Structure formats: structure tokens, C-alpha cells
């Protein structure tokens, strides 16, 4: 008889996660080239509750942004992690982190993306960063590609819509695998590979007027990413057999709005089209429901000879999941299109309309485990909120503690059910620029960074109440929430 787990395993990797493009800054330092993240303009008139996409635009708009001397582009500056990482990592060490996830900026290693020789200055930065993570007793969990494709690959090649970019990406990955063999055990190849079309610019390098049939281009680009990922897995088995490579998705699991059969069936179909990404990368084959969808919507993936065999032989070893909130599907207003959902009336509204749903995390993790039976990493989870620095420098973020407590409790419930979860990486342990809105005022961190939406501020770091709470969670291995 198997023993039922009663809590988090002793080797559980508690930690946090950030992305290079939201934290590092130094966009023009040490030979780094421009990337897709660098042209995400901060919009003072944005509707926080209805952000349909992150950055991008037409080719003309991209070229205009590159040369814009007036607008503020927050991801170019981040929180200056490029220069402050040693001090910032000390905060994570103080909290007792067992793991730290961050990404490597592709354009720091290959400024244009199509070079054959990497930028040694860029590699040196990540040499030092990874060594610093390890020296502070943390497992580095590194993302190869997190929304910062070199901009040259977009404007000159059309991003992953062009099969030539597959080889550029594989060459980049080869450099990383060789350079960090024996240091990096866990690699996430592509961040949130399914978050399209919301982030099709940052994720796929596709611009708005690239082709007439954008949906076809989008899924073709995703296929090219699948091929690239399979080639990288194959390469890793030769370069560093001990490395463990996984994929990552943004959870898109929906509930039906009602028990009306039309709502239930449409929800099932939408959920399957989210599972399609992981079905391909974890099961190694294109599911028939997806092929039917592509046929009925005139989507041509332009699959080349050998692609499917390559994907089948080189599946991923774990699944990373980002989870923040949930939505419902109402068949009278929603469609089969990706991420077309409605707000759940039973969940409380938020300024950004990411309605918290801890039970949704239990639901999604359980569904992924039942479907794939591979180790899971909670690669992102957290609450973006407006924090106030009170007199004396205190930041009382009990709302964040409540959010995290409720979600971690549901992870524990999954583990008790036998779900193999190896790490919890809360997003982001220090305030960084928001991916979706390019704001600093949408804060997630345990550590406050004194910087506003237009880059003003001292950059001072301040511990929030949640800092001390999470430190105790780690110390007690999740037994005290």
C-alpha cells in the first residue's frame, strides 16, 4: 500500500521567478542587441482591465518605436538587476530560497540573433549570475527564451514564422547547454509557449501586418517552436545528459459558465485546444482534435518531412505552469478562439481583472497530472497589486499573503493526492516591470523597489510583510501558512 503524503517533500524547491526582460535593464550595455521587449511602450491611458496584447504592432510601428526618443519603454530599464543582482539575491537567500528561476536574454548572447559567434560579454554576465545563484545555495532554473527574441529576427526574418529562425534558436541553445553544463540542471526552453495570440509578438516574433491569415501564421510559428524545442532536447542528450528540459504553459483551464450542455461542450473544446500545446510536447504527437481545427480554419502548419518523427522522439521531461486566475466559458458570448473567456461572477474583481481562484490551481494541476503524469513545476504564481509605503517604510501587504497562502494550500492538497510537484516559484519575489502592462505599479514582490511607472525613484529595496511570511513558509517547509 502506498503511503499518502501529508505535506511538501523534504527536497521541495521553494523559490521565486523573474524574467530578464522585466528586470535586467541595461538594454544597450555590453553588446546586447534590441529585443521585442524593448519596444513595449508604457501607455498612460491603458485600460488595465482589458489588455488584449503585450507590445508589438505593425512593422512600421516597430520601426517607429526603435527610433522613438520621447516615449518611455520600461523594459529597457527594468529594476537594473543587471547591476544589482548580487544584492537582490541576498534577499532571496535571507528568505531561504531553494531555487531561483530567471531567463537568459537571447539578444545579450546573439545581439541580432543570426550571428554564429556569441557575445562573450553577455555570456560573462550569466556566468557570474548563475555562479551567484549557486553560491547562495539555490538551484538555478533557467528559461532559455522569455519574450525577448532579438528584434532583428523579427524585422528581417518574421520571427518564428520563418523556419530559418529554428536554426538560430537551436544554435543559441547549444551555446547555453555547453556553457552551463553541470551548473544548470533544469531548463525551461520556451516561456508560456501557449500564450498566443496575447503575446504572439514577444513569444513568436510575429508583427501585426506580417500576413493576411494571421492565425495560420501563428500556429505555423508555434509548430516551428515545437521543432526547435525537439532539436534542443535531442542536442541536450548529447551535450549534457544530466540536464532536465521542460516546457511551460500559462494555465488556460476554463470552467463552464453554467451546466447548460452548450457551455460544457464548448469549455471542453477550448480546454483541449490549450492542452494541444502540451499534448504535442509531452505526448509527442499532434492530437486529432487539433488537426481537425486546423483543417476547418484553413491553417497550414507547413510541416516538413521528419518534423513529426523528431517531435515524437524528443518529448519534454517536465511541465512548468504559470497560474494567476481563472475564467469561465459562456457559449452565447465566447468562441473557440484562444483565451476568449468571461469573468467568473463568483470571484472578486481586481484592477487588472485577474480574479483570484485558489481552487482553480488545484483543478488545473490535477488535470495536468492526470493527463501527462510528468513532474510539475509551479513556475509562476502571485498577486499583482498596488502597494503603499507607509510611515516608517512599512509595507503591509496582507492581501498578497492571503492570496499566496490560499494557493500554496491547494498545492499541498495536490501533493496529498499524489501529484508530483517539485517546485513552487512565486512571481516575482522582487518588484519588476509588469509583462502585460509595462507598469511598475503592478507589484508582485516580497521586496519593494522604489521606482514608478515612468522610471522615477531611488531604486531602494524594502522588505514587505510578505517577505517575513514567505521566509517562515520556507523554514517550516509549508507546514505553517
Count of beta carbons in the 10 Å neighbourhood of residue 10 = 6
| Predicted pLDDT at 132 | 98
C-alpha cell at 212: 493576411
Radius of gyration of the chain from its Cα atoms, rounded to whole angstroms: 21
pLDDT reported for residue 2: 79
Looking at 173-182, 334-343, 443-452, which range is the least confident one? 334-343
Q: Which domains does the chain have, with CATH numbers?
A: 13-475 (3.20.20.80)
DSSP 314: S
Beta bridge partners of 425: 15
Residue 376 has pLDDT above 90, yes or no: yes
- Taking residues 5-29, report their average pLDDT: 96
Query: What percent of the chain stands above pLDDT 90?
Result: 92
Residue pair 336/273 in contact by the 8 Å Cβ criterion: yes
* Residue 114 pLDDT level (bands cut at 50, 70, 90): very high
**Contact 104/147 with Cβ under 8 angstroms?**
no
Q: For residues 51-62, give the mean pLDDT.
A: 84
The fraction of the chain above a pLDDT of 70, given in percent, is 100
Segment 315-338 mean pLDDT: 96
| Nearest-angstrom CA–CA distance, 168 and 225 | 11
Report which DSSP code applies to 342.
B
> For the residues 225-232, what does the mean pLDDT come to?
98
* Segment 147-202, tens digit of pLDDT: 999 999 999 999 999 999 999 999 999 999 999 999 999 999 999 999 988 889 99
Give the chain's mean pLDDT.
96
**Residue 51 above 80 pLDDT?**
no
Pairwise CA distance, residues 94 & 85, whole Å: 14
pLDDT of residue 299: 96
Using the predicted structure, report yes or no on whether residue 455 has a pLDDT greater than 80: yes
Average pLDDT for 364-373: 98
pLDDT tens for 254-286 read 999 999 999 999 999 999 999 999 999 999 999
Q: 465-470: long-range contacts at Cβ-Cβ below 8 A with a sequence spacing of 24 or more?
A: 465/394, 465/395, 465/396, 465/397, 465/398, 465/401, 466/397, 466/400, 466/401, 466/404, 467/91, 467/95, 469/401, 469/404, 469/405, 470/95, 470/404, 470/426, 470/429, 470/446
Cα 82 off chain centre by: 19
Amino acid at each position: 500500500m502506498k503511503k499518502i503524503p501529508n505535506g511538501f517533500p523534504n527536497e521541495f524547491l521553494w523559490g521565486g521567478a523573474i524574467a530578464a526582460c522585466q528586470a535586467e535593464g541595461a538594454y544597450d550595455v555590453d553588446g546586447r542587441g534590441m529585443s521585442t521587449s524593448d519596444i513595449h511602450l508604457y501607455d498612460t491611458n491603458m485600460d488595465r482591465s482589458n489588455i488584449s496584447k503585450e507590445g508589438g504592432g505593425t512593422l512600421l510601428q516597430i520601426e517607429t518605436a526603435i527610433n522613438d526618443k520621447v516615449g518611455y519603454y520600461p523594459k529597457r530599464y527594468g529594476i537594473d538587476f543587471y547591476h544589482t543582482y548580487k544584492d537582490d539575491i541576498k534577499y532571496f537567500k535571507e528568505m531561504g530560497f531553494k531555487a531561483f528561476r530567471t531567463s537568459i536574454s537571447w539578444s545579450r548572447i546573439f545581439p541580432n540573433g543570426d550571428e554564429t559567434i556569441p557575445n562573450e560579454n553577455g555570456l560573462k554576465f550569466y556566468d557570474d549570475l548563475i555562479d551567484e545563484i549557486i553560491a547562495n545555495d539555490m538551484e538555478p532554473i533557467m528559461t532559455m527564451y522569455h519574450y525577448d527574441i532579438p528584434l532583428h529576427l523579427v524585422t528581417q526574418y518574421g520571427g518564428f514564422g520563418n523556419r530559418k529562425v529554428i536554426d538560430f534558436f537551436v544554435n543559441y541553445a547549444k551555446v547555453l547547454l555547453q556553457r552551463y553544463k553541470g551548473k544548470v540542471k533544469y531548463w525551461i526552453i520556451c516561456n508560456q509557449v501557449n500564450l498566443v495570440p496575447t503575446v504572439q509578438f514577444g513569444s513568436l516574433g510575429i508583427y501585426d501586418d506580417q500576413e493576411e491569415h494571421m492565425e495560420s501564421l501563428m500556429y505555423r510559428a508555434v509548430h516551428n517552436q515545437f521543432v526547435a524545442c525537439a532539436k534542443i532536447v535531442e542536442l541536450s542528450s548529447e551535450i549534457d545528459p544530466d540536464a532536465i528540459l521542460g516546457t511551460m504553459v500559462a494555465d488556460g483551464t476554463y470552467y463552464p459558465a453554467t451546466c447548460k450542455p452548450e457551455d460544457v461542450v464548448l469549455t471542453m473544446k477550448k480546454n483541449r485546444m490549450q492542452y494541444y500545446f502540451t499534448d504535442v510536447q509531452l505526448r509527442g504527437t499532434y492530437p486529432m482534435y487539433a488537426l481537425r481545427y486546423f483543417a476547418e480554419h484553413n491553417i497550414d502548419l507547413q510541416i516538413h518531412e521528419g518534423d513529426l518523427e523528431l517531435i515524437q522522439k524528443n518529448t519534454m521531461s517536465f511541465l512548468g505552469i504559470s497560474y494567476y486566475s481563472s475564467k469561465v466559458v459562456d457559449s452565447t458570448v465566447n468562441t473557440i478562439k484562444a483565451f476568449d473567456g468571461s469573468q467568473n461572477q463568483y470571484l472578486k474583481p481586481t484592477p487588472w481583472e485577474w480574479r483570484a481562484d485558489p481552487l482553480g490551481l488545484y483543478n488545473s494541476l490535477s488535470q495536468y497530472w492526470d493527463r501527462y503524469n510528468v513532474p510539475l513545476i509551479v513556475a509562476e504564481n502571485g498577486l499583482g497589486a498596488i502597494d503603499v509605503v507607509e510611515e516608517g517604510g512599512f509595507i503591509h501587504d496582507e492581501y498578497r499573503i492571503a492570496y499566496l497562502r490560499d494557493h500554496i494550500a491547494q498545492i499541498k492538497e495536490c501533493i496529498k493526492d499524489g501529484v508530483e510537484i517539485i517546485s513552487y516559484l512565486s512571481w516575482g519575489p522582487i518588484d519588476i516591470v509588469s509583462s502585460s502592462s509595462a507598469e511598475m505599479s503592478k507589484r508582485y514582490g516580497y521586496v519593494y523597489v522604489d521606482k514608478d511607472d515612468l522610471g522615477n525613484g531611488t531604486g531602494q529595496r524594502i522588505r514587505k510583510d510578505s517577505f517575513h511570511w514567505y521566509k517562515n513558509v520556507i523554514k517550516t517547509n509549508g507546514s505553517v501558512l
